[in-house]
Chain A
Amino acid sequence: AQSVTQPDIHITVSEGASLELRCNYSYGATPYLFWYVQSPGQGLQLLLKYFSGDTLVQGIKGFEAEFKRSQSSFNLRKPSVHWSDAAEYFCAVGAGNQFYFGTGTSLTVIP
Chain B
Amino acid sequence: GAGVSQSPRYKVTKRGQDVALRCDPISGHVSLYWYRQALGQGPEFLTYFNYEAQQDKSGLPNDRFSAERPEGSISTLTIQRTEQRDSAMYRCASSRLPGTGNYNEQFFGPGTRLTVL
A-side residues, CB < 8 A to B, are 4, 32, 36, 41-46, 49, 51, 90, 92, 94-104
- One digit per residue, 1 when the CB lies within 8 angstroms of any chain A CB and 0 when it does not, for chain B 99-117 equals 0111101111111000000
From B42, B103, B110, A90 is in contact (CB under 8 Å) with B42
**16 contacts across the A-B interface (CB closer than 8 A):** A43-B3, A43-B91, A43-B107, A43-B108, A43-B111, A44-B108, A46-B105, A49-B105, A90-B42, A94-B103, A97-B48, A101-B42, A101-B43, A101-B44, A102-B42, A103-B41
CB contacts (< 8 Å) of B101 on chain A: these are: 94, 97-99
**Which residue of chain A is the closest to B42 with respect to CB atoms?**
A101
| Contact present for A92 and B45 (CB under 8 Å) | no
* A43-B91, A98-B56 known; A32 vs B110 contact (CB < 8 Å): no
Contact B102 A98 (CB under 8 A): yes
Q: Which residues of B contact A (CB under 8 A)?
A: 3-4, 33, 40-45, 48, 55-56, 59, 91, 93, 100-103, 105-111
A interface majority secondary structure: strand
A-B contact count (CB 8 A): 62
Contact A4 B102 (CB under 8 A): no
* A109–chain B nearest beta-carbon distance, Å: 20
Q: Please indicate the chain A residues that have their CB under 8 angstroms from the CB of B102 in the complex.
A: 32, 94-99
Our pick among A42, A49, A92 for the contact of B42 (Cβ within 8 Å) is A92
Contact: B42 with A103, CB < 8 Å?
yes
Tell me which residues across on chain A come within 8 A of B106, comparing CB atoms. 46, 99
Task: Give B104 Cβ to nearest chain A Cβ, in Å.
Answer: 8
Q: How far is the CA of A43 from the CA of B108 in the complex (A)?
A: 5
Q: Which residues of A contact B91 (CB under 8 A)?
A: 43-44
A102 to B105 Cα, complex, angstroms: 17
A104–B111 contact, CB under 8 A?
Answer: no
Point out the residues of chain A lying under 8 angstroms from B107, CB to CB: 43, 46
How far, in Å, is A63 (CB) from chain B's closest CB? 15
In contact, B45 and A99 (Cβ under 8 angstroms): yes
Q: Please measure, in the bound complex, the distance between the C-alpha atom of A81 and the C-alpha atom of B36, giving whole angstroms.
A: 30
Interfacial chain A residues near B110, Cβ < 8 Å: 41-43
Contacts of A45 in B (CB 8 A): 108
